[in-house]
Amino acid sequence: MIALSLAEIAEIVGGQPHDIPDPSVQVTGPVVIDSRQVAAGSLFVAFAGENVDGHDYAQRAFEAGAVAVLAARPVGVPAIVVDDVQAALGALARDVVGRLGTEVVALTGSSGKTSTKDLIAQVLQRHAPTVFTPGSLNNEIGLPLTALTATAETRHLVLEMGARGVGHIRYLTGLTPPTIGLVLNVGSAHIGEFGGKEQIALAKGELVESLPESGCAVLNADDPLVRAMASRTKARVLLFGEAADADVRAENVRLTDAGQPSFSLLTPSGCGDVTLRLYGEHHVSNALAAAAVAHELGMSADEIARALSEAGSLSRWRMEVTERPDGVTVVNDAYNANPESMRAALRALAAMGEASRARGGRTWAVLGPMAELGDDSLAEHDAVGRLAVRLNVSKLVAVGGREASWLQLGAYNEGSWGEESVHVSDAQAAVDLLRSELRPGDVVLVKASRSIGLERVALALLEGAAEGEVAAR
């Protein structure tokens, strides 16, 4: 964090100093919530979680070099005591970002936030020093912690914003008010918790409502619910997508034999050719979104196209493609799943299968449950099972309980009988089946909601294959 004295911090967060002999001592190190991450000069933020209470680690944090603890009660070492630790952390982030005057780019959407944020960061880094959300830390704690890593050199702060309900994005935009707000899509992620797509659109649109008149709302022209958000903002609107009226567009979109999208990028300032290192056509939309943000920040189409073509995947288990020495390709997309991302991944698998079929290879979709779909769960699992058959995926392995049986039944009803679709009870059973069946040239997609931990299947299939070519990182 930028250097601030304990007296200044206490004032910003409205807290009471306790056991602080010298309030002029400065916090100069990182602000952390895990005592194991404390470094010299840190501020340790004590949260009381379900299983662990950070206050119990205050002493340890102090001994490890923390200057003080932000806490809900005195802890026997220097502390700034507040009523609400989360609100205090937010207030500190807001103040620091305000002091720095950093340009905040915020993005939200149902699918692809992390993938797009990583693309934006890699493109903007070429332009000016950029700080961005690590991984998917997009909530009321991860967001301020990320913002607090910005320094005086930081020009762009790129923040992923997640929402599980109405009001969540409004809260986050209050902490780090963005000048550029990007909405990717409105899909079905967490639809059960939200209570419908309109509710999701309502929640995601809070991002553009927060923008100032001088700001820019970057909206997906291909998603009607996102496009409609133009009426909810004072800011200028920049549209991206494949629609003819989009400001930032793609033409000649195709997938290479390896499943990587290639397209001509058109921006108001020119055009350039892009071939992504990421897999799956859904990344075209993500790349256009990133291009629109970079264009808004003054980068040329040529520069953007080059940066996009060189950008890799920074976050794990998202369409992570590894070819084993024996010629089996494993696509680990087990980070998470919802109906849109399942469809996107299946389409990518089908494209990769085109090339492998020529070599006698087959495509395998090893799919598990999609969580939090509420009343739509049966229909959505059924539809994914059917899509696997329509896309001519050679084998569907549905893993898990009731939802997996719906996946398999969908495939069965679409015409995938016999051994073409199977239902197994757990990850180990899937691994056993695949180990005995896979042969060179096969491509295996592994995907399910995070809570299922299906990456275990992909990792087991890759055990001992470390020398295999890692195609994307």
Binding stretches for ligand ATP (CB under 6 A): 109, 111-115, 136, 138, 162, 184-185, 189, 282, 285-286, 318-319, 333, 335-336, 340-341, 344-345
Q: Is 168 in the site for Mg ion (CB under 5 A)?
A: no
Shortest reach from residue 224's CB to ligand ATP, in Å: 15
Where do we find the tokens 């659109």? Answer: 201
Identity of the residue, 138 or 394, whose beta carbon is nearer to ligand ATP in the bound complex: 138
For residue 114, the minimal CB distance to Mg ion (Å) is 3
To ligand ATP, the closest distance from the beta carbon of 202 in angstroms equals 17
Residue 336 touches which of Mg ion, ligand ATP, none (Cβ within 5-8 Å per kind): ligand ATP
Residue 114 is a binding residue for Mg ion (CB under 5 A): yes
Helix, strand or coil, per DSSP, at residue 172 = helix
Question: 319 contacts which partner out of Mg ion, ligand ATP, none, CB within 5 to 8 A by kind?
Answer: ligand ATP
Pure H helices in 176-280: 191-194, 197-204, 206-209, 224-227
- Report in angstroms how near the CB of residue 336 gets to Mg ion at its nearest: 8
Which of Mg ion, ligand ATP, none binds 340 (CB below 5-8 Å, type-dependent)? ligand ATP
Q: Which of the ranges 83-91, 108-116, 262-270, 404-412 carries the binding residues for Mg ion, by CB under 5 A? A: 108-116
Contacts of 101 (CB under 8 A, 6+ apart): none
**Alpha-carbon gap, residue 83 to 87, rounded angstroms:** 9
Residue 185 or 421 with smaller CB distance to ligand ATP: 185
One residue of 136, 139, 179, 300 binding Mg ion per CB under 5 A: 136
Residue 112 CB, nearest approach to Mg ion (Å): 8
CB of 113 to ligand ATP, least distance (A): 3
- Residue 307: partners with Cβ closer than 8 Å, 6 or more residues away: 122, 123, 126, 294, 299
Contact between 249 and Mg ion (CB under 5 A)? Answer: no
CB nearer to ligand ATP: give 138 or 176. 138
For the bound state, the minimum distance from the C-beta of residue 81 to ligand ATP, rounded and expressed in Å, comes to 33
Tokens of 407: 């996946």
Pick from ligand ATP, Mg ion, none: which does 385 bind, CB < 5 to 8 A by kind? none
Q: Which is nearer to ligand ATP, 18 or 204 (CB)?
A: 204
Q: How far apart are CA 102 and CA 122, in angstroms?
A: 17
Q: Of 421, 428, 438, which is closest to residue 460 (Cα–Cα)?
A: 428
The C-alpha atoms of residue 149 and residue 87 are separated, in whole angstroms, by 18
Q: Which is nearer to Mg ion, 311 or 352 (CB)?
A: 311
Q: Which helix (H) or strand (E) holds 283?
A: helix 282-296
The end-to-end CA distance of the chain, in Å, is 29
b/e map 269-283, b = 16+ CB within 10 Å: eeebebebbbbbbbb
Phi then psi dihedrals of residue 44, to 5 deg: -95, 125
Are 145 and 135 in contact, with CB atoms under 8 Å apart?
no
Rule CB under 5 A: choose which of 18, 113, 282, 318 binds Mg ion.
113
Of residues 28 and 139, the one with the C-beta less far from ligand ATP: 139
- Using CB positions, name the residue nearest to ligand ATP: 112
311 binds, among ligand ATP, Mg ion, none (CB under 5 to 8 A by kind): none
Secondary structure (3-state) at 217: strand
* Residue 305 or 346 with smaller CB distance to ligand ATP: 346
Selection from Mg ion, ligand ATP, none that 208 binds (CB < 5 to 8 A by kind) is none
CB-wise, 43 or 387, nearer to ligand ATP? 387
The nearer residue to ligand ATP, 111 or 173, going by C-beta atoms, is 111
Q: Which of Mg ion, ligand ATP, none sits in contact with 97, Cβ below 5 to 8 A by type?
A: none
CB closer to Mg ion, 93 vs 161: 161
Binding status of residue 139 toward Mg ion by CB under 5 A: no
Shortest CB 135 distance to Mg ion, Å: 7
C-alpha distances in Å from residue 104, one per residue of 19, 131, 143, 290: 36, 10, 12, 14
Nearer to ligand ATP, 68 or 284 (CB): 284
Distance CA 372, CA 388 (A): 21
Whether residue 121 contacts residue 129, with contact meaning beta carbons closer than 8 Å, is answered with no
Query: How would you classify the pairing of strands 363-367 and 329-332?
Result: unpaired
Kindly state the helix (H) or strand (E) to which residue 145 belongs, with its residue range.
helix 142-147
- Please count the other Cβ atoms lying within 10 Å of the Cβ belonging to residue 251: 11
* Separation CA 232–CA 433 (nearest Å): 51
Q: What are phi and psi of 97, to 5 degrees?
A: -65, -40
Amino acid at 441: G
204 lies in the binding site for Mg ion (CB under 5 A): no
- The nearest distance, CB 111 to Mg ion, in angstroms, is 9
Q: How many CA atoms does the CB half-sphere of 182 hold within 13 Å?
A: 29
Q: Is residue 59 involved in binding Mg ion (CB under 5 A)?
A: no
Q: What is the closest distance, in whole angstroms, from the C-beta atom of residue 271 to ligand ATP in the complex?
A: 22
Q: Which residues bind Mg ion (CB under 5 A)?
A: 113-114, 136
